Structures are given as structure tokens and as C-alpha cells.
Chain A
Amino acid sequence: MRKPSFVYVTYIRSTPEKVWEALTDPATIRKYWFGITVETDWKSGSPWTMKFEDGRTADTGEILEAIPPRRLVIGKWQNQFKPELKAVGYTRCTIEIEMADYYPDFGGKAVKVTIMHEAETEQGAPMIEAVSGGWPKIMSNLKSLLETGDVAFGRCEP
């Protein structure tokens, strides 16, 4: 059986460098990721920790690849605040950033961002289901922030 996975693609009027910065700068992340903070030095092999506004750890993982401004891979991604999700083990998230073909005279540049979030085993399906609800919210907010200077919505309904 195939490993559970979720793919989300979005196009953003921006540059790969600006998208990379938005994905890796903690102050920017907090704006579009509903108050979440990320702690890591973005070096291959380094720990990666997501925290809620109140300081509780949300998720943990490890940077597997960080190639600015093109590719970011976070492995050993595990939920730490819901026991039933923590129990399903590790997932891996690959983010790819590329220029989409475009007609510069009509619309300007577009960056294609592809998120692929996969479970390491079949048991990871509930975690993939959880992130498949989250990524569209997060990426929609990131797109709004980069294109308009403001997020689409500040609070994330559970």
C-alpha cells in the first residue's frame, strides 16, 4: 500500500527569495501561521521545533535539506500536543519553490510552491489528514501576506 501523503500547490506573485524568507523567518511565520513560532537554525541535521504562542511545543522535527531559495525538507515531523497523533510516528514535509512560466506583459511573475507531506508508514494517515486541513489555511495566508501585506485571516478555527 502507498504511504499516506498530501500535496498542496499554490501560486504566489512574488520571488523565490521572498517566499523562502517568509517560510524561514520566525517573525513572518508567526503572522501567517496563526501565532506559531519556529525555532531552528535551518541547517541540515538541526532540530526544528514549532511552538504555540503560550510556549507549548506543537510539533518537532529535523531539517533534512535546506537549499535556499529552492527546497526545504523537514523530516521526523511529529505532533507533540495530541497523543493520538504523536502515536502515529514520523512524517516528512518537502517544500519546493520554483518560478512558474509566465507572461510578464500581462500579469507579472508567479512563484509555484509545492508542499508534499508524507507519512513514513501507513499508520501515519491520521497525521496526514490533520495537516491536509492545515496547509491550505497556512499557504492561503502566506500568499495573502506576500501579495497584499496582510493575512487573509488571523485566527485558525479548530
Chain B
Amino acid sequence: MTDPSRFKPKTVYVTYIAAPPEKVWQALTSAEFTQRYFFGFVIDVEPKTGGNFFIRYPDGRVHIAGKVLDWTPPRRFSCTWLVEGMETFGELPECIVTYEIEPAGEAVRLTMTESHSWDVPEAILAGGRAGWPAILSNLKSVLETGRPMTIKMGPPPEMMEAVRKAVAEKPWLK
């Protein structure tokens, strides 16, 4: 199994949500919820450490695939991520995405950490740095108001080129 100690945090996003930890956990791990706030993507996860993890397009095709590294409801959910559903992205090394849920006064602090095992170019990190605030702002809206915002977004322009370059040069092998 993947050794998380080789991975370093590169992008962290924190949001505070007026909901119990169990509801935030449910929003992160259930298909009905992710479909509403995660650009329409549907989570499909085996609820155990070591289980399979997928983020699927609404039609069932795989967008992201990985393995569950930590399944500790309602506190910590960590898994490996490999973007398989986009051209060349699948040839990049996997990353680790970890969600941590902690009580914070009357609210809950949700921390998302995206960690990488190699020296990822800023242009590739820009994808997550653009996406996570939209996804997690939307998750907060769904939990607090029952309604998502459906923000339209694509990969940042330089990201595709940076991914093609990285896949051609494979700096993580050096």
C-alpha cells in the first residue's frame, strides 16, 4: 500500500461549517451529496481502510480512482487519487487527499490537504487550488442551506500543458 510519509502537503483548504461532524462526513462520502456540490461527480467508496475509491462522472465512467488509506468516521478520510478520466493525467503519480473533521466551538472545522510525493509544478497544483475552494464552498452551502451554487469551472489554461510536459519528462523518476 502507498506510504503516506513520502507525501508532502502542497495545498490546504480550511472551512468552518455549521453542521455536526457526522453530517460533514456523510457529505464527503455519500454519492447523493457529492453529486450536488462536486461539479456533478459521484463518489463510490468501499467504506473501509484499504477499500477502493472512485469519483465517477454522472454516467458512471471513472474520473478519479484510488485506495482508501484511512477510514475513521466521522474524523478522518484519506485516499490516494489518480485522475484517470482526463487525457494524460493518468500517467502522473498519484496524490493523497485527506479530509479532517474537528469540532470548533458550535461549528466544525473541515481541513482538506492535498499531498504529493514529487516536486509538482505550480501550474499543475493550480488545478486543485482553483477547484477545492469551489467544491468545499459548495459543500458548506449544501449543508447549511440545502442548496448548492453549481459553479462553472474548467482546468486552468496552463495546467494541461504542464501535465503533458511532466508526463513526457517524468521528473518523479529522477
Binding site for B on A (CB under 8 A): 7-13, 100-103, 106-110, 136-137, 140-141, 143-144, 147-148, 150, 152-157
- Please tell me which stretch of B9-17, B91-99, B161-169 contacts chain A, meaning at least 4 of its Cβ atoms lie within 8 angstroms of it: B9-17
Which residues of chain A have C-beta atoms less than 8 A from B140's C-beta? 140, 143-144
Q: Which partner residue on chain B sits nearest A138 by CB separation?
A: B16
Decide: B105 and A102 in contact? CB cutoff 8 A.
no
Which residues of chain B have C-beta atoms less than 8 A from A102's C-beta? 149-152
Nearest 8 Cβ contacts at the A-B interface: A107-B150, A140-B16, A9-B133, A11-B137, A101-B152, A153-B107, A136-B14, A152-B18
Decide: A11 and B133 in contact? CB cutoff 8 A.
yes
Q: Which of A108, A152, A156 has the most CB of B within 10 A?
A: A152
Which residues of chain B have C-beta atoms less than 8 A from A12's C-beta? 137
Decide: B152 and A103 in contact? CB cutoff 8 A.
yes
Decide: A110 and B149 in contact? CB cutoff 8 A.
yes
Question: Within the complex, which residue of B104, B145, B150, B151 is in contact with A157, where a contact is CB–CB below 8 Å?
Answer: B104
| Size bin of chain B's contact surface | 20 to 34
Decide: B16 and A106 in contact? CB cutoff 8 A.
no
CA distance A136 to B107 in the complex (A): 13
Known contacts A136-B16, A140-B107, A153-B106; can you find 6 more A-B pairs with CB under 8 A? A100-B151, A101-B151, A102-B149, A102-B152, A144-B140, A148-B145
B148 at the interface (CB under 8 A from A): yes
CA distance A143 to B136 in the complex (A): 12
**Nearest-Cβ distance from residue A72 to partner chain B, whole angstroms:** 19
B1 at the interface (CB under 8 A from A): no
CA distance A110 to B148 in the complex (A): 10
Decide: A107 and B105 in contact? CB cutoff 8 A.
no
Which residues of chain A have C-beta atoms less than 8 A from B14's C-beta? 136
Chain A proximity mask over B142-161: 1 for CB below 8 Å, otherwise 0: 00110111111100000000
Tell me if B's interface is mostly helix, strand, loop or mixed.
Answer: mixed
Question: Within the complex, which residue of A10, A13, A110 is in contact with B145, where a contact is CB–CB below 8 Å?
Answer: A13
Q: Which partner residue on chain B sits nearest A150 by CB separation?
A: B18
CA distance A50 to B89 in the complex (A): 46
Decide: A13 and B149 in contact? CB cutoff 8 A.
yes
Q: Which of A140, A143, A148 has the most CB of B within 10 A?
A: A140
Q: Which partner residue on chain B sits nearest A141 by CB separation?
A: B16
Q: A11-B138, A101-B152, A107-B149 are in contact. Are A144 and B106 (CB under 8 A)?
A: no
Decide: A157 and B152 in contact? CB cutoff 8 A.
no
Which residues of chain B have C-beta atoms less than 8 A from A155's C-beta? 105-106
B45 at the interface (CB under 8 A from A): no
CA distance A144 to B140 in the complex (A): 8
CA distance A71 to B112 in the complex (A): 28
Which residues of chain A have C-beta atoms less than 8 A from B150's C-beta? 102-103, 106-107, 110
29 contacts between A and B (CB under 8 A): A7-B129, A8-B133, A11-B134, A11-B141, A11-B149, A13-B141, A13-B149, A100-B149, A100-B151, A100-B153, A101-B152, A101-B153, A102-B150, A102-B152, A106-B148, A107-B147, A107-B150, A109-B149, A110-B137, A110-B149, A137-B16, A140-B16, A140-B17, A144-B140, A147-B141, A147-B145, A150-B18, A155-B105, A157-B104
